[in-house]
């Protein structure tokens, strides 16, 4: 069977969520973190390559995405899907525009659409403007993001600053209207030289319309929810057999830990909820003397507490604390310090028997998976925003939940870790 979609994900949490949404719909997904491993996947209709490219230099993001896309195209996928965040996390230098440009070039495609909307969690685009709930993204906490502060809600403007390609809009009244009119508008934009089309979307039905418009395009981009609207179209075309292709996840025992690098408000709330039952070790970056000392102290603390149940270790901080850390280490230096600590901690905790991890934050998730040397994951079914399980395909499996900092129920940490002790059929 020819693979249908090849996903190029700009972080591990988004790639995992995308795969889990498809698994929940009976679509088997091969999931790797290294492009070279794509050739080892057999029989899966969707192939996912998830790498840390969201906040690295644009040139490096393009290079790594190029490698992923080439591997997917060599595997024969019908469509490339570039997965990024619902809040369009990027800067004027990239990385969304440059990567999209490269994927179009590789696929020989003249256009693509951009659909970051996630109706289930209140992320919507209207008149090209991105909303987080009732707020424009520029009025939301995303304006304080330590790496990709979103201060302009107009995605047409945001994307146009990242690319030499023309950017246009698929407006809501056409998305909600007749499919023929929407298609005619997209064709007209392409004739005018518009290669990038921001798609208005507020409701799930809007995603239906956008999926129907783009199902035959060679490149599509967006957040994970839009992918849920493709399998029915694939089945109509005879590309995907009816029925479920779900692979069970094994039960995983051993110690359990939360590793959190996200500074999102939701993650801070989740840590507070966890701390009502289990201890949290907080690492203040401004007080760190060395990575080695911070890791040694955290491991010693964890050993004293793991015998009684799960623990959490966090570099997560308030906006004021983030500012102080950036003043001391620089923006990139503070982020690198946090990831170095949490990455080394993942290795150390694994060494003392931890086999169940919830990891909060896209960059943290990528670091943890890299440091643990994980190249392939078996993905479980989507259970709601931020909640999905995965296990390594090894004799000594590790169970993971890689969670975007902004997503998930407040009380998700303990139940998720506990669920890993049961097989997911």
**CB contact set of 222 (below 8 Å; sequence gap of 6+):** 81, 82, 83, 84, 113, 114, 115, 116, 117, 199
Predicted TM-score (pTM) of the model is 0.88
What is the percentage of the chain residues whose pLDDT exceeds 70?
A: 99
- Alpha-carbon distance 226 to 117, whole Å? 8
Q: How much is the pLDDT for 244?
A: 59
Per-residue pLDDT for 323 more than 90? no
C-beta neighbour count of 179 within 10 angstroms? 13
**Domain at 255-419, CATH homologous superfamily:** Four-carbon acid sugar kinase, nucleotide binding domain (3.40.980.20)
pLDDT tens digit string along 71-90? 999 999 999 999 999 999 99
**Please, which contacts does 183-188 make with residues 24 or more away whose CB atoms are closer than 8 Å?**
183/213, 186/111, 186/113, 186/213
Q: How much is the pLDDT for 366?
A: 86
Average pLDDT, the chain: 93
Q: How much is the pLDDT for 278?
A: 96
Q: How confident is the model at residue 406 (pLDDT cuts 50, 70, 90)?
A: confident
Q: How much is the pLDDT for 1?
A: 78
Contact call for residues 259 and 359 (beta carbons, < 8 A)? yes
Q: How confident is the model at residue 407 (pLDDT cuts 50, 70, 90)?
A: confident
The three-point CA angle 424-309-305 to 5° equals: 145
- Alpha-carbon distance 425 to 423, whole Å? 6
Sorted by where each begins, the domain ranges of the chain are 5-236, 255-419
Q: How confident is the model at residue 234 (pLDDT cuts 50, 70, 90)?
A: very high
**CB contact set of 189 (below 8 Å; sequence gap of 6+):** 111, 168, 170, 197
Q: How much is the pLDDT for 312?
A: 96
Q: How confident is the model at residue 177 (pLDDT cuts 50, 70, 90)?
A: very high
pLDDT tens digit string along 240-288? 987 656 678 899 999 999 999 988 889 999 999 999 999 999 999 998 8
Per-residue pLDDT for 227 more than 70? yes
CATH architecture group of domain 5-236:
3-Layer(aba) Sandwich (3.40)
Q: Which residues pair with 400 in a beta bridge?
A: 357, 390
């Amino acid at each position: 069977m020819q693979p249908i979609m090849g996903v190029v994900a700009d972080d591990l949490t988004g790639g995992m969520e995308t795969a889990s949404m498809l698994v929940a719909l009976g679509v088997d997904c091969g999931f790797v973190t290294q492009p070279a491993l794509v050739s080892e996947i057999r029989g899966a209709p969707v192939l996912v390559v998830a790498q840390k490219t969201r906040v690295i230099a644009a040139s490096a993001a393009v290079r790594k995405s190029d490698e992923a896309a080439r591997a997917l195209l060599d595997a024969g996928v019908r469509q490339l899907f570039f997965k990024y965040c619902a809040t369009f996390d990027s800067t004027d230098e990239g990385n969304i525009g440059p990567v999209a440009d490269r994927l179009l070039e590789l696929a020989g495609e003249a256009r693509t659409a951009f659909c970051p909307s996630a109706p289930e969690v209140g992320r919507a685009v209207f008149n090209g403007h991105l909303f987080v709930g009732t707020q424009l993204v520029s009025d939301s906490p995303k304006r304080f993001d330590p790496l990709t502060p979103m201060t302009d809600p107009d995605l047409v403007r945001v994307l146009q600053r990242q690319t030499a390609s023309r950017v246009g809009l698929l407006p809501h009244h056409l998305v909600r209207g007749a499919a023929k009119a929407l298609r005619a508008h997209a064709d007209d934009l392409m004739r005018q030289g518009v290669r990038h089309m921001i798609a208005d979307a507020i409701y799930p039905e809007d995603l239906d319309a956008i999926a129907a418009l783009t199902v035959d395009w060679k490149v599509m981009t967006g957040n994970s929810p839009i992918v849920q609207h493709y399998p029915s179209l694939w089945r109509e075309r005879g590309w995907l057999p009816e029925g479920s292709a779900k692979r069970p996840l094994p039960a995983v025992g051993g110690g359990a830990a939360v590793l959190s690098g996200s500074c999102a408000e939701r993650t801070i709330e989740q840590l507070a909820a966890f701390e009502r039952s289990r201890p949290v070790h907080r690492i203040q970056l401004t007080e760190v003397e060395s990575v080695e000392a911070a890791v040694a102290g955290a491991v010693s603390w964890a050993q004293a507490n793991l015998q009684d149940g799960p623990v959490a270790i966090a570099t997560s901080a308030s906006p004021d604390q983030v500012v102080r850390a950036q003043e001391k280490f620089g923006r990139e230096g503070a982020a690198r310090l946090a990831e170095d600590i949490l990455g080394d901690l993942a290795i150390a905790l694994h060494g003392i028997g931890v086999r169940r991890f919830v990891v909060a934050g896209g960059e943290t998730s990528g670091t943890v998976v890299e440091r643990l040397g994980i190249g392939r994951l078996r993905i479980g079914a989507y259970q709601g925003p931020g909640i999905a399980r995965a296990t390594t395909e090894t004799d000594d499996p590790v169970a993971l939940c890689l969670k975007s900092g902004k997503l998930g129920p407040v009380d998700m940490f303990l139940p998720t870790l506990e669920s890993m002790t049961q097989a997911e059929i």
